Every structure is written in C-alpha cells, then in structure tokens.
Amino acid sequence: MGRDKLEDKVLRFVQRHNLLPPGETVIVAVSGGADSVCLLHILATFQRRLGIDLHVAHFNHQLRGAESEADAEYVSRLATSLGIPVIIEAQDTGAYRAERGGSIEEVARELRYAFLARVARDLRAKRIATGHTRDDHVETILMHLLRGTGIIGLRGLLPLAPLPYTSAEAKETDLLVVRPLLNVTREETMSYCRDHRLDPRVDSSNLSLSLFRNRLRLHLLPLLRQYNRNIDQALLRLADIATEAHAFIEHEALKLWTEVARQEDALVRLNKKKLASLPLALQSEILRLALASLVKDVRDIEAQHIKAARRLLSQPAGKRLCLPHNLMCLTGYDYLDIAVITTERPDLLTLCPFPPLTGEFRLNIPGETFLPGWKITAQINVVSPPPYSVTEENNLVAHLDLHKTGTLLFVRKRQPGDRFQPLGMNVPKKLYRFMIDAKIPASWRDHIPVVFSPEHIVWVVGLRIDDRAKVTAETREILRLEFARWP
C-alpha cells in the first residue's frame, strides 16, 4: 500500500472520530515495534496540519535485558530525528510482580499506564495515542469472548476511550486513550515502516506461547480461519453490532440512573425494588455503571460478576459479594450498596441500612407510630372468608395473628438474653445466635428493630417472625405491620 493511501486512511479515521482536536497536547506511547513506530511517523507528518503538540513516551519494562535497553535507545533516536520530545522511564517489572503478584501481562500493563498517566499529568495532556491496530481489535474481541464477556466486552477496542486505571497516578487523571490505527492492519504498519526505512524493533516476547494473547494470535486465530476465512470480518461486525446495542442500553440506563442510584463518596447505593423491576439488560447496565463510577478499570468485571450482583437483588440483607479491584456488594433491606473497600475506609464493609435505634416505643395499633428513622403502620384486617392469603414480598412487612400477639406491642433493639422461636422452628433460639447464623454483620445487630409483646418477641424486623405469632387456617384477624424509613 502506498504511503499517501495509508496516511490518508489514518487521517480520515482520526477526523471521523475526532480523536485529535486542534490545540491538544498528545502523548504518543511508542514501544519501538512496527505499530507504534508507524503511528508516531504518521502523526509527526500531520502534526502541523492537525494543530497538535506531540510528546513521545516509552516505558522500559526491563524484562528482556539488553533487548529492552536497545528498544529504549531506538525510540530515543527516532523521536529526536523527528524533532519530538521524548520521555523514557525504566522499572523492574519482574521485581514488582514478585512483590505484588499477578500475571506478567497485567503487571506490565499496570506499570505502563501508570507511567503514561504521570507523563500526561506533568505535561497537562489529556490524550494518549497508542498503536493498536485492527488485528489487536480482533484479538481483543475474541479474547473477551473466550473469557466470558457481556455485550460491553464484545465491542473490543474503541477508537476513543477513558484510560483504565489500576493505580493512583492514573485514577487522579481524566485521560483518554486514542487509537488512530484501529482501522489499519498489522501488515500495513509493517509495510509502511519498510517503505520509510524506519527499521522498527522486533519484540521476541511476542513469540512466547506462555502469554495468552500470543497463543490466541499464533494458534487459535489461524485455526479459526480454516473454518471461516472471513472470521476477522465476522468478529468486527459483531463488535459493531455490540457497540450500537450497548450505546442504546447505556443511554436508557443513564436516563434511569437518578431514580435508581445515589452516589455517596466511595459508595453507590441502588434501590433494590426499582432496579429489580427493570428489564435484565438495564439491570446489568446500571450495575456496570455503578461499578465503573467507583473504578474505571472494569476489564476484570465479567458477565458472571454482573449476573452474581444481579442475583443479590433477591437476597436477604447481609449478603455480600466480592468482586475484582476490592469492590464489595452488600445487600440491605431496601438497597444494594457497592463500595471499594480500602484500609482507609474499612467501615464500608459494615454499612448498615437501618438507622440507630435507642429506647423503647409502644406501637399504635391500629395507627401509625413515628420513631427516629422509622414510620410504623399497623392495620387490622378481618379474614373473611378464611384462609388469609399473603402475597407481599417486602421483608419490612409482617402478617401476624392478632389473637396471638394482642394489641400491646413494643419495639426496641435487641437485649442480652433475648430469645424467640423463628418461624418454622418448634423450640426457641437465642437471638444473637440466630443473627450469627443468618450472617448479619455484627455492627448491624443493634440497629435491627425487635417487636415484642409482654410474653415474647413476635418479629425480628426484616428477618423472621416468631412461629407462635404466625397466621394459620384458624386465624380470624390479621395484624399487618409495616416498617418504612422516615423521613
């Protein structure tokens, strides 16, 4: 392919997606390989025409000894020859991995992006240009598919996307990754470099089958092309369809966000009832938006994680789900809380959906009772004809046999020595042991209201009624109690 044809192709792609607006300072990530060298050379050619200011950034992972050092020297010479400032940094990736754990691919990526974020911050840049090609795009789609992705992963690589962060350096910025070569093949970049005698570096680690992406590129894709020689185009079409579908779902989810979600510092609180009433696709997208609002790097959040979080909507209070990046989902009675658990904020592990409860209060039966944080409504319903059918699923509502409970009822928090007979059991049980078995966090237990009569506890609110107060076929009058947060 001729020089002008490839350059024009890249320029049209840049302009169509508005990747490099005039006046921008752009960090070009250059490894020394054909893709990034091709990118740098083309951007240098168009620098004045685009009205952008280029800076080259190269990160030496120190994983290939003298070869890594030679890569850094090559990038430095190339940038200098093009009259573009260059920043080079080296770090022992192997030692960092030994200290922190994880795959070498993930650790190298984390260090590289942290470096790029620091460079961008120092130069007050907002965009980082990378040499990802159409081949990288195809490999990423397939890799996501194999690992178990949802619709968002099927999009593969995007021309313009937020910089994923896995470090404080990246998190503090609002950087964008731009991929001007996403419509260009790897073969085209190599041909461009040959035509311009750029002599790019060859990374020997790209042939190592110990790396997942290399195995996919060298073994799996050639095998798939034997079944469908147009598999690359098929995957790209799938990505286009997924991109369009996700854009629509995301748009609809964002319209509902304020009705369903509330963000408080390092916590997102989702209304369980409202979220559960939405179509599954919108439930999943709102959960993804909640996670992404806390950590931008959600690559490790897979479809199975979202599905597990969605299941929590029907789970009782106190259920937890741990997700990558120290994310924790915790069910309350009305809300699903999602937070990043850190050593600075360990309290987020034990957020309680109930307000503190102090004192003892008599309930107005029938009628309403107001106490700090709660409004309690008591109704008496006559069963006619029996039996009485209970269809409500709200765990802050209880249906009790009025003849068994009486109208002299009180509410307080638990007390030492409390016992009750959980529904379905024929003997009493210590309340503290019941809460432990129900996996109620210790910090929640003194917040949970307990409704009791002069004889015994009749309801541990949100958890279980007492078997001795249950509705039976002989029940003639029903006491319906409902707790609601107030105000």
The per-residue pLDDT for 35 is: 97
Predicted confidence at residue 407, as pLDDT, reads 94
Tokens of 272: 């369980």
Amino acid letter at 6? L
Q: Enter the tokens of residue 343.
A: 């050593």
Alpha-carbon distance of 322 to 315, in angstroms, equals 15
User: What's the pLDDT tens digit per position in 251-310?
Assistant: 999 999 999 999 876 789 899 999 999 999 999 999 999 998 888 677 778 888 899 999
Distances (CA, A) of 166 to 170, 179, 298: 7, 20, 10
Nearest CA among 275, 261, 259 for reference residue 313? 275
List the strands of the sheet with 410-412, edge to edge.
Answer: 361-362, 410-412, 450-452, 457-460, 464-465
Strand partners, 376: 369, 483
Among residues 32, 379, 44, the alpha carbon closest in space to that of 199 is found at 32
Pairwise CA distance, residues 54 & 125, whole Å: 10
**Closest C-alpha to 481, from 373, 357, 379:** 379
Peptide bond before residue 385 is cis, with ω within 30 degrees of 0: yes
pLDDT (0 to 100) of residue 267:
85
Q: Which pLDDT belongs to residue 311?
A: 93
Helix H or strand E segment including 114: helix 104-123
Say if residues 337 and 347 touch (Cβ distance below 8 Å): no
CB neighbourhood size of 29 (10 A): 22
- Correct CATH for 361-485 of 1.10.3720.10, 3.50.40.10, 3.40.250.10, 3.40.366.10: 3.50.40.10
Residues 112, 87: contact at Cβ < 8 Å?
no
Q: Give the phi and the psi of residue 447 in degrees, each rounded to 5.
A: -95, -20
pLDDT at 390: 60
The domain at 234-350 falls in which architecture?
Answer: Up-down Bundle (1.20)
pTM for this prediction:
0.71
pLDDT tens-digit series, residues 417-445 = 999 999 999 999 999 999 888 777 777 88
Tell whether the torsion through CA atoms of 53, 54, 55 and 59 is positive or negative.
positive
Task: Kindly list the distances between the CA atom of residue 365 and the CA atoms of 150, 159, 434, 455, 481, in Å, as whole numbers in the listed order.
Answer: 51, 64, 28, 17, 9
Domain ranges of the chain: 3-227, 234-350, 361-485
- Residue 171's pLDDT is 52
- CA–CA–CA angle 130, 3, 5 (5° rounding): 85
> Which fold is adopted by the domain 3-227?
Rossmann fold (3.40.50)
Amino acid at 427: V
Report d(CA 3, CA 414) in Å as an integer.
78
Taking 70 as the pLDDT cut, the residues of the chain under it are: 1-4, 165-173, 265, 296, 342-353, 384-394
Return the structure tokens found at 297. 């790097």
Around Cβ 374, how many Cβ atoms within 10 Å? Answer: 19
SS3 content of the chain, % helix, strand, coil (to 5): 45, 20, 35
Residue 139, classed as helix, strand or coil, is: helix
Residue 2: other Cβ atoms inside 10 A: 10
- Overall size of the chain counted in residues: 487
For residue 145, what are its two tokens?
């598919």
Give 216's DSSP letter.
I
What sign does the dihedral 405-407-412-418 (CA atoms) show?
Answer: negative
The strand pairing partners of 414, in sequence order, are none
Predicted local confidence at residue 5, as pLDDT: 86
Dist. CA 320–CA 339, nearest whole Å: 11
Backbone angles phi, psi at 192, to 5 degrees: -60, -45
DSSP string, 264-302: ETTEEEEEHHHHHTS-HHHHHHHHHHHHHHH-S--TT--
Tokens at 85, concatenated: 């400032």
The whole-number pLDDT of residue 345 equals 53
Contacts of 228 (CB under 8 A, 6+ apart): 234
